[in-house]
Chain A
Amino acid sequence: MIQQSKIVIKDLNLYYHEKQVVKELNLEIPQNEIFAIIGPSNSGITTTLRTLNRLCDLTFGARQEGEVLLDGKSIFNKNVNVTELRRKVGMVFDVPTPLPMSIFDNVAFGSNLNGKKSKAEVEEGVEKALRMSALWDDVKDRLNTPAARLSGGQQQRLCIARVLALEPEVILLDRPCSALDPISTAKIEDSLIQLKEQFTIIIAPHTIQQAGRIADRVAFMLMGDLIEQGITHEVFSVPKDKRTNDYLTGRFG
C-alpha cells in the first residue's frame, strides 16, 4: 500500500536542552504525496520539520536522538553535506520572508550560491520555478523590482518558488498560509496539489480544513506524542483515538 517512502522517521526524540518536545516519533512519508502534520500549539511540529533539513542544528540547545532516513540514508550521518541536504529538503516558513533584494534575485538566490549554473540556466530556472508556484504571470514584467513590494500572498508564493528553484526533492511548509487571505491560500493550495507530482510535500497546515483539502495523509501530534496517522479521509471520518476526535471537532487546540 505504502509506495516508496521518501522519508522514514524512526524513534525520533527531540529536545531543547533538557526539555523533550517530541517523543518516540515514527513516521513514513511516501513519495509524491502531501503529508500533513496537524496538532495544537506546542505539539513539536515546527521542531520536527526543522529537524528534517537539519535547520535545528542552528538552534542553541536543540538535540535529537533516533533516526531520519532520506531515501534510505541517515541525514544525521557525519558524512552528510548539510548544505546539500537543505537544498534537497527545502523549507517554507510561516511568515513570508522575501530577502531585501529583487524578485529575480530572491528566486535565483539558491542557484547563485554554488555558482554551478550559467546565467541562462539560472534565468530558465527562475522562470520555471515562478510558473510552478503560479506567480509568473503576476511578476514577469517586474522581475527586477524589490520583492518586498509584492502582496503577502505573492511573497509567500515567491518563497515557494525560491525553494522550487533549488530543484528539491522534499518541500517542508510550516503553516505557509497562516498570514494569508483565503484567495491567496486557495492559490497556494492549488499549486501544492500540482507540485506533488514532482515533489514530496510535508506541511503543517494552519487549519484542519486545509489538511482536509490537500493532504493525502495526516499525522496528529499532541504535546510531542504522535497520536494517530493515516489516510486523511479515513482519519477525518473515523478517528481511532478519542483525542484525535476531540481535536478534529474543535474541542481543544
Chain B
Amino acid sequence: MRIDAQTSQKIAKTLIWTAALFVIVVLFSIIIYILIKGIPMISWQFLTEIPRNMGRSGGISSSIVGTLLVTAVAVIVATPFGIGTAIYLTEYTREGRVTRIIRFSAESLAGIPSIVYGLFGFIFFVIYLKMGWSILSGGLTMAIMILPTIIRTSEEAIRTVPNLYREVGFSLGATKWQAITKTVLPSALPGIVNGVILSIGRCVAETAAVMLTAGSTLRMPISLLSPTRTMAVHFYILAREGISMENAYGTAALLIILILLINVGFNMLVNRFVSKGR
C-alpha cells in the first residue's frame, strides 16, 4: 500500500509532535517534582547556615560556597586553555597529524567516565602534589574534565565564523591576532559561551570525581586549600545514607535553581554583548 504525500506528512507531524511532547513532559515532571518537594525546604536559614547534625538540620551554606568555588576554579582554568587550543586548531595550523592527534585526544577525553578523572585528580593533585582534599584539587580535576567540551564547542563556534570575516579583518590591516580577537572571537562568542555553560552544568552536577578530590567535609571553606562538600555530593550523601530526604530535596531544588540562574545570567550577558552587533 502506498501512502500519499499528504498522509505521510500528517503521520510524520504527529510522530514528531508526540516525541517532543513526551520529552517535555518527562523533563518537566522531574523538575517540577523536585521543585515541589524541595522549595518548601528552602528558607533563609537553609541558605545561610552550615549543616548541623550531619545535614539533618541546619542549612547548606558551606556546600553552596564550595560548589561555587570548585566550579569557578574549573571554569577559570579550563576556559583559557580550551579557547586557546580551539584557536590553535582552527587558525594556526592546517589539518594534519597534529590537529588529528589533539582532536582525537580531546574526543577520547570527553568520553571517559568522570570517576576516572576523579581517580587521576586524587592521585595527582591530592597525593602527588600534596594539595590534599581541597577546592583547588577538585577545581583542577573538574577543569581537566570539562576541557574537551570547551575545546570542542569553541572549535565548532570558531569554524562557523565565515572566512570572509577574517579576510575583512586582514584587508583592513589587522594582524592575524587582531583578526582573530576582533572579528572571529566576537562572532564565535555565543557558541563559546554555550560550551562554558554546559561545562558549568557538568561541574555543578558532578559527584564522584569531586568527592575523591575535594572531600566531603561540612565545614565552611576558608581558602582554596580547604576541603569542601559540593551540593551534588551533599545531596548524594543525604539521600544515599538516608540522613534527610527533606534536605536532600531542598539541596536538589537549589541545584536546579542555581543552574537555571547561571544559564539565564550568561545568556543575558551574551545577548547584551551580541545585540550591540546584530
Interface residues of A (CB under 8 A from B): 53, 55, 58, 60, 83-84, 86-87, 90-91, 93, 95, 97, 99-102, 109-110, 113-114, 146-148, 162-163, 166
Complex Cα distance, B166 from A146, in Å, reads 19
Q: How far is the CB of B271 from chain A (nearest CB, A)?
A: 12
Complex Cα distance, B273 from A146, in Å, reads 11
Contact among A91, A102, A147 with B171 in the assembled complex (CB-CB below 8 Å)? A91
Q: In the complex, which residues of chain B have a beta carbon less than 8 angstroms from the beta carbon of A114?
A: 173
Q: How far is the CB of A83 from chain B (nearest CB, A)?
A: 5
Complex Cα distance, B164 from A93, in Å, reads 9
Q: In the complex, which residues of chain A have a beta carbon less than 8 angstroms from the beta carbon of B164?
A: 93, 95, 97
> Which of the 9-residue segments B23-31, B137-145, B179-187, B207-215 touches chain A?
B179-187
Are B167 and A102 within 8 A (Cβ)?
Answer: no
Chain A to chain B: the 5 pairs with minimum beta-carbon distance, closest first: A100-B277, A87-B173, A110-B172, A91-B171, A101-B277
Are B172 and A113 within 8 A (Cβ)?
Answer: yes
Residue of B nearest to A100 (CB): B277
Complex Cα distance, B140 from A55, in Å, reads 42
Q: In the complex, which residues of chain A have a beta carbon less than 8 angstroms from the beta carbon of B170?
A: 55, 58, 86
Are A109 and B278 within 8 A (Cβ)?
Answer: no
Contact among A60, A97, A146, A148 with B168 in the assembled complex (CB-CB below 8 Å)? A97
11 contacts between A and B (CB under 8 A): A58-B167, A60-B94, A84-B173, A87-B172, A93-B164, A97-B165, A99-B168, A100-B278, A113-B173, A113-B174, A113-B182
Interface residues of B (CB under 8 A from A): 94, 164-175, 178, 182-183, 186-187, 274-278
Complex Cα distance, B274 from A99, in Å, reads 12
Complex Cα distance, B94 from A90, in Å, reads 27
Q: How far is the CB of A50 from chain B (nearest CB, A)?
A: 9
Complex Cα distance, B226 from A20, in Å, reads 67
Q: In the complex, which residues of chain B have a beta carbon less than 8 angstroms from the beta carbon of A101?
A: 186, 276-277
Q: How far is the CB of B174 from chain A (nearest CB, A)?
A: 6
Complex Cα distance, B169 from A53, in Å, reads 13
Q: In the complex, which residues of chain B have a beta carbon less than 8 angstroms from the beta carbon of A95?
A: 164
Q: In the complex, which residues of chain B have a beta carbon less than 8 angstroms from the beta carbon of A102?
A: 276-277
Q: In the complex, which residues of chain A have a beta carbon less than 8 angstroms from the beta carbon of B182?
A: 109, 113
**Contact A166/B173 with A55-B167, A93-B167, A99-B183 known, Cβ cut-off 8 Å:** yes
Q: In the complex, which residues of chain A have a beta carbon less than 8 angstroms from the beta carbon of B278?
A: 100, 146, 148
Q: In the complex, which residues of chain A have a beta carbon less than 8 angstroms from the beta carbon of B274?
A: 100
Q: In the complex, which residues of chain B have a beta carbon less than 8 angstroms from the beta carbon of A87?
A: 172-173
Complex Cα distance, B176 from A58, in Å, reads 10
Complex Cα distance, B164 from A113, in Å, reads 18
